[in-house]
Structure 1
Amino acid sequence: MQTNFEPLEVFLEICKIPHPSKDCKEMKEWIKKEASKFGVKIYEDTIGNILCSKGIPKVCLQGHYDMVYVGECKDFSIQPQFFSIENKEWLKAQCSSLGADNGVALACMLLALKYFDNLECLFTIDEEIGMIGAKNIALKPQSPFMINCDSEDINEVVFSCAGGYDLKATKTFKKIPIPQDFQYYAIHTQNFIGGHSGIEIHKNIPNALLELAKIVEATEGIVLRFFGGEKRNSIPVNATLKIACPPKHTTLIEHLPKESFSISKLKDSPNEGYDCKDLAKSLLKVGNGVLKSLNNAPILSSNIGILEQHQDNFTLFLMGRGNEESLMQENIQKQQTFLEDLGFAAHLLDYYSPWEKEEGELLFKVWNIYQKYNPNSYLKSIHAGLECGILKQKYPHIHFVSIGPTILHPHSLNEKLDIASFQHFWEILQKILKTMA
């Protein structure tokens, strides 16, 4: 397997530059510096989106330059490593997410600017924390067609995607006395794999917050501390519960599987804690995972991504997705009502509509090339969110399609890039640009 083709070399350079959401300044400057080598005009808006234009644009490539960083390194460093499974070459990172979502797009886009004329490339910022760049974009692409390079299966030609919403629910819990015979424990999740809350929500990946909520419910314990999660759009990996447990349930805690939980007894034994039955109920009953399917594919889902505790206040953040707008609206109302009945103040923080299926010249051209050079390809609507839906509202005259190489388990420590698919994607993308640019 060739592991030194040009887009891969560029991607490995990208891995050297920290670019978590909200902290992408260094990556932004690097993109502009690299693009300037290829004779392009560079435009930037106040939010941080970058538009590179070359010649008379016929097609625009689009990708985001932030990543979901899951890992312990405070400098957000990535250490890529190659490995093989059954003679198939992969790339992952040691002890962190890889950032192939969407770093592979950045590599291909920069090389497209190098080798093709009559092209635009739109690099958007902070897609992973609510599509902030797309929502606030103030740039004007001239192309009639836009190819989003954020799909994560080499065989998929995506023509529509889910919309999404973010819900925030906060409640203040009163302290209650802890009986003297209660035992005190600190429980931390470990070895949870996490994953993308859109494309992997149907895989029943354990949610670290929900697993600890089950312990709160089963032990009838009094909570001292309870928090965790990484991003609202990723399935939680890390969570912590400090709890005072009645003697009759200590065996339950002490026999939790060691591969999933780190358990220790607390030396401190405060006199008060929180009666969090309603918190556990909110986490376990509000709806998590696939809520509705069609033809064995999710069309409505919810992911409880983050739980925060600030003294007496507990706040949970969940992200819902839907391929049909009516389903999303109904579920927002249902979840808000449920949480409010439990005494939470529930607020809708963000909302964006689904990208509805569109057929036209762009889809026809891209699909024809895929059928010729990738006979395993198929047309698909995905349950993940893409910037296409928001950008379509901003630029109704532009036609969209989404493609990309195979990336498994994005937004997690197990994120890995299929090297052969990356190479194949670059070859197909060049065929498309030769036809259109």
Structure 2
Amino acid sequence: MGNVLIRKPATPGYEGRQTVVLQAHVDMVPQKNAGVAHDFLRDPIDAYIDGEWVTARDTTLGADNGMGVSLAMAALTDKTIKHGPLEGLFTIDEEVGMDGAVGLKPGFLKGTIMINGDSEEEGRLFVGCAGGVDMNITFHYRDGEPTPEGDVALRLTLAGLKGGHSGVDIHLGRANANKLFFRFLKKAISHYDVRLATVEGGSLRNAIPREVSALVTVPADRVADVEQLVREYEALYRAEYKGVEGDIRFTAERTPELPATLIPEEIQDDLINAVEGCPNGPISMLHDFPGTVESSSNLAIVQSDDAAGRIDVKILVRSSSESRKDALCSSIESVFSLAGAKVELSNPYGGWQPNIDSPILRTMEKAYESLFGRKPDVTVMHAGLECGIIQEAYPDMDMISFGPDIKHPHSPDEAVGIASVEKSWRLLVATLEAVPEK
């Protein structure tokens, strides 16, 4: 698979302790602000210290899951800490589809305890997470329609949204760029005969979409009206998301060249109605863990391909309940099926069910209270962790997840709290020393 496993023998006198797997994923989410010239395959992350945080200029930082990797590597290289046998498991492509975890085979690991370093709130220990599934939706059409004579082309751009992690940040009420744009487009079409040529909204299935760019045509005598409507919707969205979104920008720029063809009107209207009607954001909450989302959907990507005669829509559905995950997928499938689209599900992964009697949970709770004078919060998260998938191959493995404070992962505002990294390291060291005997 390309996963990496590193083994370190026990500190002398600790050979009888249980083997601990320190697990993290090595990939990051590549997101950058509009207009930023950054090649994630070539350019280094421009990280810097901003007060009590480390962040990056105009791109994601990679603290998700670079901090988990760093904590594990520090434990593997440090010759002063005390611990039993250690395994460092570094998985690939977690952000793409949990590929490294899915490909993990029984027998590869020797450990009986796993500490996952992919959590993002210091002082909280995570013992469960949601499962998820990708919904891949396609509108097909044979040929585009000719551009009406006398039309003018406009490049519409909606940008400046915060976006974020579709699991960690889905409850924060942030705007989904795809939902905002198609809400506007529905009115622009019905009032001013706007036609859609191309659209590109969002970029990653597990990131709340921050930007949409679309090429449309407008009758020449309606151009000023559409430009005014764009300004009105920019003001409307800023007012609706005041205090949540700081810099929503909606622009219309006239372009000299008209598109050769347009998306067929029937397909265009079906797409708009389906996107408008699609459930998005938090759908249900967990009763046993107040404030934690149980089920959600993220309408992540809407992208047209005129040459192929298709429009792709990608949605990530998450839930801690398999039945509610199925119900939400069914609801979304109905919306798009009624619009004539093809709907397929892929990359399903199960949730990680909490075990409140977990021995490593008790060990880590005691270590935290001893170090910092208070008990840590014990909870579950809505984001997907690899723990549930790995547990399918290692059903008897005792698992827990922890990590430092990371805010706004999957967005260019991503940052990690410096002080929380030290606390996470101290907690890991104390926990490894206290791991029970085999």
TM range (shorter): 0.7 to 0.9
1:223 maps to 2:196: yes
Letter in 2 for 1:60: V
Select which of 186, 211, 214 maps to 1:238: 211
SS at 1:170 equivalent: strand
Match of 1:199 in 2: 168
Letter in 2 for 1:299: E
Letter in 2 for 1:261: F
CA shift digits 1:131-173 (9 cap, x unpaired): 0000012362111100001000002100000000000000124
Select which of 371, 380, 383 maps to 1:373: 371
Q: 1:148 to 1:310 in 2, by over 3 A?
A: same
Match of 2:38 in 1: 73
1:183 Cα offset (Å): 3.9
Gaps of 5+ in 2: 10-14, 235-246
Q: 1:297 to 1:360 in 2, by over 3 A?
A: closer
Match of 2:395 in 1: 396
Moved more, 427-436 or 280-289: 280-289
Structure number with higher relative contact order (C-alpha < 8 Å, ≥ 6 residues apart): 2
SS at 2:412 equivalent: coil
1:284 maps to 2:249: no
1:254 Cα offset (Å): 4.7
CA distance in 1, matches of 2:174, 2:248: 15
CA distance in 2, matches of 1:102, 1:325: 26
SS at 1:195 equivalent: coil
Letter in 2 for 1:100: A
Match of 1:25 in 2: none
CA distance in 2, matches of 1:305, 1:259: 18
Mapping of residues 133-282 of structure 1, within 5 Å: 133-138=100-105, 140-173=108-141, 175-180=144-149, 182-220=151-189, 221-245=194-218, 247=222, 249-257=226-234, 259-270=248-259, 272-274=261-263, 275=265, 276-282=268-274
CA distance in 2, matches of 1:304, 1:76: 29
1:184 Cα offset (Å): 2.4
Match of 2:240 in 1: none
1:131 maps to 2:98: yes
Letter in 1 for 2:157: H
CA distance in 1, matches of 2:423, 2:200: 42
Match of 1:293 in 2: 285
Letter in 2 for 1:367: E
CA distance in 1, matches of 2:254, 2:210: 22
SS at 1:234 equivalent: coil
CA distance in 2, matches of 1:52, 1:259: 45
1:305 maps to 2:300: yes
1:316 Cα offset (Å): 0.6
Match of 2:416 in 1: 417
1:363 Cα offset (Å): 1.3
Letter in 2 for 1:113: L
Letter in 2 for 1:370: Y
CA distance in 2, matches of 1:270, 1:61: 53
Mapping of residues 48-63 of structure 1, within 5 Å: 48-55=2-9, 58-63=19-24
Q: 1:250 to 1:175 in 2, by over 3 A?
A: farther
CA distance in 1, matches of 2:358, 2:126: 13
Q: 1:270 to 1:148 in 2, by over 3 A?
A: closer
1:331 Cα offset (Å): 1.3
Q: Is the 8 A contact 1:219 1:245 kept in 2?
A: no
Gaps of 5+ in 1: 1-46
1:399 Cα offset (Å): 0.8
Moved more, 183-192 or 57-66: 183-192
CA distance in 1, matches of 2:179, 2:342: 20
Match of 1:26 in 2: none
1:212 Cα offset (Å): 1.6
Moved more, 241-250 or 303-312: 241-250
Match of 2:350 in 1: 353
1:215 Cα offset (Å): 2.1
CA distance in 1, matches of 2:74, 2:46: 23
CA distance in 2, matches of 1:271, 1:431: 65
Select which of 349, 358, 364 maps to 2:362: 364
Aligned CA RMSD, in angstroms, stands at: 1.9
1:407 Cα offset (Å): 0.1
Q: 1:249 to 1:114 in 2, by over 3 A?
A: closer
Select which of 110, 130, 136 maps to 2:73: 110
Count matched residues: 387
CA distance in 2, matches of 1:137, 1:377: 31
CA distance in 2, matches of 1:332, 1:156: 30
SS at 2:125 equivalent: strand
1:324 maps to 2:321: yes
CA distance in 2, matches of 1:415, 1:161: 21
SS at 2:404 equivalent: coil
CA distance in 2, matches of 1:203, 1:350: 26
SS at 2:411 equivalent: coil
CA distance in 2, matches of 1:299, 1:181: 51
CA distance in 1, matches of 2:178, 2:358: 44
CA shift digits 1:4-29 (9 cap, x unpaired): xxxxxxxxxxxxxxxxxxxxxxxxxx
Q: TM-score, normalised by structure 2?
A: 0.84
